[in-house]
Amino acid sequence: MHVHVMSADGEAKFWIEPVVALAGNYGLKAMELKKVHKIVEEHQNEIKKAWKKHFGG
């Protein structure tokens, strides 16, 4: 289970399970990654719910 985060500066991919972790970074700066990581952690339950609704499971 993962999520892609896009901005004008680039994109990042974060694993959601078993823990929120950076899977790939394509242009985002360290400060941006830190902010996005925090947001993904704060919303991981919503992301998991949406993932399961979309993909099943």
Q: DSSP labels for the chain? A: -EEEEEETTEEEEEE-SSS-EEEEEES--HHHHHHHHHHHHHTHHHHHHHHHHHH--
pLDDT of 15-57, one tens digit each?
Answer: 999 999 999 999 999 999 999 999 999 999 999 999 999 998 7
What are 13's strand-pairing partners? 4, 24
Is pLDDT above 80 for 1? yes
Counted domains in the chain: 1
Range of the domain at 46: 2-55
Cα–Cα distance for residue pair 31/36, rounded to 1 Å: 9
